Amino acid sequence: MSRTPHALAAAGIGLRLQHIAEVAATRPRAAWLEIHPENFLANPHARELLEDIASDYPISVHSVGVSNGRADGVDCGHLARVKELVDRIDPFLVSGHLAWSTHEGEYLNDLLPLPYDRESLETLAAHVDEVQQTLGRLYHVENPSNYLGFTGSTMTEVEFLTELVARTGCRLLCDVSNVHVSGFNLGYDPYAYIDGLPAEAIGEMHLGGFVVEDEDGPGAGQVIIDTHSRPIDAAAWDLYAHALRRIGPRPTLIEWDNEIPTLATLMAEAGRAERVAAEVLGEGQRRAAAG
C-alpha cells in the first residue's frame, strides 16, 4: 500500500545514488523521497536498497527518460521498465517533463523544449494518454525551465498545460524555480504564470537552485541556468510563498542534482520549505479567523 506524505505541504528530498547507503543505514527524518527510476533500472544493488527504503518512506517517482514530447512515440520498452519499478514501489505520485530527451533511439542529456501549438498538443496528449494507460495511474507533467521561446508557438505554456490537463485528465507538477527561471529568461511575469495555472490539477511542487550568468556579446544581459546545484534563491522562495497562497499546500521537493551536498544540507532546505508553508498557511488561518 502506497504511503503518502504526513502533511499536504510536506517537503521531500531527492534520493540520489550518493546518499542511498546512508539513507538505508540511518533512516533520516525526511517527509518523503523522490527517485529517478532511471537510476535503478540497471543497478540491482541500488534497487535492492530502494525497495528496503521504500517500506519506510512515501516515494514520488520522477522519470527523466520517458520523453513524452518526442514526435516518434513513447519508448515502450523504457516505459515498461518504469512500470515494473512503479508497481513494485507503489509511489504516491508519478511525474515527468513537458519535454523530449530521446530521438531515434539516442538518449540526450538535456530535456529539450517543444513549440506550444496544436500539433505538439496532439502529440503530447497522445503520449500522456499512453503513459497513464500503461502505468494505470495519473501522470504529473512538469513545466520546464526555458531559455528560448519558439516563434511558431500559438499558445502560452500555461494555456498549453491547461489544455493538456483538459484533454488527458493528467495532473501537473509545478516547478516554482522553473517558473522564475523561464519568466526571467523569456521576459514574462512569473507571478501571473502561477495565477494562471489550474490549481486543482497541481499535485506536487519543485524548488531547485539555479545560477545567474552573464551572456556574451555586445549589449548582452543575463540568463538564469537551472542547474539544481545550489541552495534555493530568495526570489524562488518568494514565488513559492505566492504559489502556496494561490494553489494551496502541496508536497514540495528540494531538487538538487549536481554538486550534491550532504543529507543534512538537503534536510535543512526541506525544513525551510516547511517553515515557509507553515507561515503562509498560518496567515490564511489568521485572516479567516479575523474575517
Residues in 258-287 at the binding interface with Fe ion, rule: CB under 5 A: none
Q: List the grid coordinates of 81.
A: 521498465
State the minimum distance, in angstroms, from the CB of residue 178 to Fe ion: 6
Identify which range of 41-49, 183-191, 255-263, 279-287 contacts Fe ion by CB under 5 A: 255-263
Contacting range for Fe ion; rule: CB under 5 A; set: 15-23, 157-165, 195-203, 254-262: 254-262
Nearer to Fe ion among residue 123 and residue 182 (C-beta) = 182
Number of residues lying near Fe ion (CB under 5 A): 3
Closest distance between Fe ion and the C-beta of residue 256, in Å?
A: 11
The answer to whether 125 touches 165, Cβ cutoff 8 Å, is no
- Candidates 194, 206, 207, 277: give the one binding Fe ion (CB under 5 A): 206
Taking the C-alpha atoms of residue 229 and residue 226, their distance in angstroms, rounded to an integer, is 8
Closest to 224 (Cα-Cα) out of 145, 281, 171, 170: 145
Identify the CA nearest to 187 among candidates 223, 219, 220, 161.
Answer: 223
Q: Rule CB under 5 A: say whether 137 interacts with Fe ion.
A: no
Q: CA 14, 19, 21, 23 torsion: positive or negative? A: negative
Applying the rule CB under 5 A, the residues between 212 and 251 that interact with Fe ion are none
Residue 49 or 236: which CB sits closer to Fe ion?
236
Which residue type sits at 246? R
The one among 34, 175, 204, 233 contacting Fe ion by CB under 5 A: 175
Alpha carbon distance 271, 58 (integer Å): 17
Nearer to Fe ion, 5 or 209 (CB): 209
Listed in sequence order, the residues at least 6 apart from 271 whose beta carbon sits closer than 8 Å to its beta carbon are 11
Q: Which is nearer to Fe ion, 49 or 224 (CB)?
A: 224
Q: How far is C-alpha 286 from the geometric centre of its chain's CA atoms?
A: 31
Note whether 70 binds Fe ion by CB under 5 A: no
Applying CB under 5 A, which part among 24-32, 92-100, 173-181, 256-264 lies near Fe ion?
173-181
In sequence order, which residues have a C-beta less than 8 Å from that of residue 173 and are 6 or more positions away? 62, 95, 140, 141, 142, 143, 202, 203, 204, 205, 206
Please say which residue, 209 or 249, places its beta carbon nearer to Fe ion.
209
| Binding region for Fe ion (CB under 5 A) out of 23-31, 120-128, 190-198, 205-213 | 205-213
The residues that touch Fe ion, with contacts defined as CB under 5 A, are: 175, 206, 255
